[in-house]
Chains A and B, each alone.
Chain A
């Protein structure tokens, strides 16, 4: 008995398909849920009108190797002596109430539900000389037991501990990358300073526009 040609073809197709079907799917990594998705530019959700969002929205994300200045690694620690609380509880509260842990006069404009990997938030922080630093954060990684942000004193207070955070500062790379010098123009500190310097001029320009608008307006 001979197999009809169409059946042979079908059998071959099934045979060829088998190795692909048998290939196991890539296992999900244990840290998969802890990382943000890859992005090219930052996108902030709605922020109040008073928030200065000059250095976050639409900005391209750069890696640590693309910076100009010295590279620093800063680690802050606070020990919750006497607090009967598990690490997972601390981190859960920290992420959930992230905005409330910022010191007074520091403004955090981010998701109301807490901060998660992939979230972007705007920060307005007071600096000397009445300059307001407009910067932001991109939550790149968070898991149940670790989270990287420096609102430690207030977190400790939440758990009934009055502690001074320890700071460990390590200079990872002392060299300046002169070929990246152009990236200075993206510095939030410099841009915020220039924005503050320009404030009187914007006020004058705004006043003139108002006057001009008033003159052109329809007469009663």
Chain B
């Protein structure tokens, strides 16, 4: 099996939100990286996390499972998850799994930040 590669960077966005830039593959092996990035994104009391999927190269069913776990964590902590940068393919996957009903999806970073009230 090929090694999954994933790089995540967290950057603040106006104090109200954080952006997590996802680059690489999201599989079941990405749990530590994803949860760590989420933890860093919300460390300063930030309540809105914006996932930037424009660098996403591959996602399997294990990756979808991780997104669900992340959503549950966000709901439990009363935080919001937003997303942008999804290609048509990944948009369709989020629709297929009905995750689009729980994560706000936007076309651009500006739109997502405006929705978060952070622009």
Residues in chain A within 8 A of chain B (CB atoms)? 26, 28-32, 34-39, 61-66, 71, 73, 87, 140-141, 143, 145-146, 148, 172-173, 175
Contacts and interface: CB of A to CB of B under 8 A. Distances in A.
A29 B87 contact: yes
* Main secondary structure on A side of the interface with B: loop
A141 B72 contact: no
A156 B86 CA distance: 39
Contact of A141 (B57, B61, B87): B61
A34 B60 contact: yes
Interface of B: 1, 57-62, 64-65, 68-69, 71-72, 76, 87-90, 92-93, 95-99, 101-102
A39 B87 CA distance: 18
Nearest to B26: A31
A97 to B, nearest CB: 21
Contacts of A71: 68, 72
B102 A65 contact: yes
A30 B57 contact: yes
A38 B92 contact: yes
Given A26-B87, A29-B87, A145-B1, A65 B57 contact: no
A87 B90 contact: no
Contacts of A145: 1
Q: Which of A36, A63, A87, A141 has the most CB of B within 10 A?
A: A63
Nearest to A27: B87
A29 to B, nearest CB: 5
Contact of A26 (B88, B93, B95, B97): B88
A62 B95 CA distance: 10
B68 A31 contact: no
A32 B90 CA distance: 9
